[in-house]
Structure 1
Amino acid sequence: MPATAPAPAPARRVSAEPQGPVLIEGPVEIVLDDGTLVRSDRFMVAVCTCRRSRAYPWCDTSHRRRERAAAPPEDRNPS
């Protein structure tokens, strides 16, 4: 009887967000530069690509621009 090949692992869906993280359907394991293995069991994981995240490799939205709200215009003709 011929040996059968093992079934391929299910594919993970990955989405690259413009100006943002890479979204991966979880669970996810990531090997960091130093060899450390980190894991997330969430159903969707945001992986940081800008390295600004304090929770690296997970995205904490630090890539978003921080803009101040515009100050209200001064009333130049007080009554």
Structure 2
Amino acid sequence: MTNVRITVNRNGSLKVEGAIDLVDADGNSLPTREGKPVHLCRCGGSTNKPFCDGTHSKIGFIGAEAAVDAATKAVREAEAGGESG
């Protein structure tokens, strides 16, 4: 069994490491380089989908995990401020 590791890069791509068979919606194989990680677009802005082309950094993409973290922090700070005042 081959190990595949998928890493969610903060405010960026999905990094896929390991042997994978990447296919499009029609079942056609997409090229990958053996032994090299594949970076898949999460922001929707890549001109080379499904691969990441770095557009996320140009458009200010904020991944859902970062948005949730920021919102949770803001709520906690507001609650803490409201209790002490």
| Fold agreement, TM-score > 0.5 | yes
Please, what TM-score do these two structures have when normalized by structure 2?
A: 0.56
Please, what TM-score do these two structures have when normalized by structure 1?
0.59
Match of 2:17 among 14, 18, 25: 25
The unaligned stretches of length 5 or more in structure 2 are 61-85
After superposition, the C-alpha distances for 1:38-77 in whole angstroms (9 at most, x for unaligned) are: 121151111111221111111001011358xxxxxxxxxx
Give aligned-pair identity as a percent. 25
1:37 matched residue in structure 2: 29
Of structures 1 and 2, the one scoring higher in RCO (CA 8 A, sep 6+) is 2
Please identify which structure carries the higher helix content.
2
Would you tell me which structure has more strand in proportion to its own residues? 1
For the pair shown, which has the larger CA radius of gyration, 1 or 2? 1
SS in 2 for 1:64: helix
RMSD over aligned Cα, in angstroms? Answer: 2.1
Moved over 4 A (4+): none
Aligned residues: 59
